[in-house]
Every structure is written in structure tokens, then in C-alpha cells.
A and B are shown apart, each in its own frame.
Chain A
Amino acid sequence: ELKVEQNPLFLSMQEGKNYTIYCNYSTTSDRLYWYRQDPGKSLESLFVLLSNGAVKQEGRLMASLDTKARLSTLHITAAVHDLSATYFCAVYMDSNYQLIWGAGTKLIIKP
């Protein structure tokens, strides 16, 4: 059974700082997704990572995938308040065509 663990589950940080959210998964997969959710809103797709070594960047967010280590990271550079949200990773499971989701990381960025 594929398990997906995110850490930390909660993160409070100051604007301007850098930080990394980690997503570990337990069995082989070569596809990983990052989503963002604002309070009371829908989940929105951020990144799709499709191969070992994949790196995607948009603005102050950069995501990477290491399939050998079964690890993805979401790095936040010089955080701003607008990035406050809950971030989810999801891993594709070939055996039943489903996405297995992490519990989410609630990120609060203080001015």
C-alpha cells in the first residue's frame, strides 16, 4: 500500500525567509503532483513532476522529485504573505490509477 507523508504539517514563518516542505512516499512511483488550497477555496494544481530529477519553478516556489529516494520537495524562496495556504502532494499509483494524497502542510507567512 502506498503511503504519502508530508512534513511539516504546520509551518509558521516570517516573510522573506526560505523554507522547504517535504513529501515522502513508500513505494515506487514516477509521478507526483503539488496542489495548493486557500482557506474555504478549491485545490489548485501547482506542479506536475513526471520523472526522476524533475524540477519545476513558478515564482517563489520550486518543486523537485527524486524517485530513487521517493522524495519530493517544495521550496519557498523569500516567502511573502500571499503564499499562505495549505499545500498538498499527491502520488500516482499505477496499480489502480489513483492519486494517493499527503495530509497537507498548512503554511502561514507572517508579515
Chain B
Amino acid sequence: NAGVTQTPKFRILKIGQSMTLQCAQDMNHNYMYWYRQDPGMGLKLIYYSVGAGITDKGEVPNGYNVSRSTTEDFPLRLELAAPSQTSVYFCASSYLLSGAINEKLFFGSGTQLSVL
């Protein structure tokens, strides 16, 4: 019963490098989300997707890209990594859009990313 799987758990990047954070869910959820969490701060939405082929920006999308070619996978791409992208990244999925009545998000275990 995997739920939401994120890889890698930890990563160190040099400034200007690129990488992809992987996220997969096996619950057949249409909705998927990427959040970042900075120390002492709440989660902030980067991008979300309401289904395969459909993505939209959240609160803090700059410096990131996403794609959703299948229902299961929602990778987050960092292009030209910057120190400001040092954070913990969480992927989540849900049956309904966040905020729908009684809906809840299922989270991955997070990716701790440092850009040096």
C-alpha cells in the first residue's frame, strides 16, 4: 500500500544545476500537488494538476516546471537551481480538489533539497 512516493529523500545541488523530483501515487487520484516548506514557514503551493495533461501554477511557481503525462506521476523540474530553492518539497494527491468538502490530502515523505 504505497500511497504517495517521492524520490529522492535528500539531494544537494550546485547553483545552476537542474534536477527532477519524482512523485508517484497509486490511489488513482486525479489531483496532485507540489508544495515547498521553508524553515519556520507553512507549506506553499508550487504547482498542481487536476488530471493528466492539465497543470496550473500555485502561489510560488517561479523557477519550477511540472508535467503530468499520466495519472500516477507528477514530476517537478528545477531548472538552474538557486540557493532560494533550498527547502523541503512535498508532493501530495487527493481524490477531490483541496478544499472540497471532507476532502483530504495524502502526502509523500518529502525531499530535502539544498542548493549550494
Contacts and interface: CB of A to CB of B under 8 A. Distances in A.
Interface string B95-116: 0011101111111111000000
A88 B42 contact: yes
Contacts of B109: 40-42
Provide the main secondary structure of the chain A interface.
strand
B42 A4 contact: yes
Contacts of A99: 43, 45, 98-99, 105
A100 B108 CA distance: 18
Contact of A101 (B43, B102, B103): B43
Contacts of A103: 40-42
Interface in B68-116: 90, 92, 97-99, 101-110
Chain A contact residues (Cβ within 8 angstroms of B): what range? 20 to 34
Interface string B26-50: 0000000001000011111100000
Contacts of B40: 9, 103
A45 B108 contact: no
B101 A88 contact: no
B63 interface: no
Which residue, of B35, B99, B102, has the highest number of chain A Cβ atoms within 10 A? B99
Which residue, of A4, A43, A97, A103, has the highest number of chain B Cβ atoms within 10 A? A43
A86 B59 CA distance: 23
A12 to B, nearest CB: 17
A80 interface: no
Interface of B: 3-4, 35, 40-45, 58-59, 90, 92, 97-99, 101-110
Interface of A: 4, 9, 31, 33, 35, 40-45, 48, 50, 88, 90, 92-94, 97-104
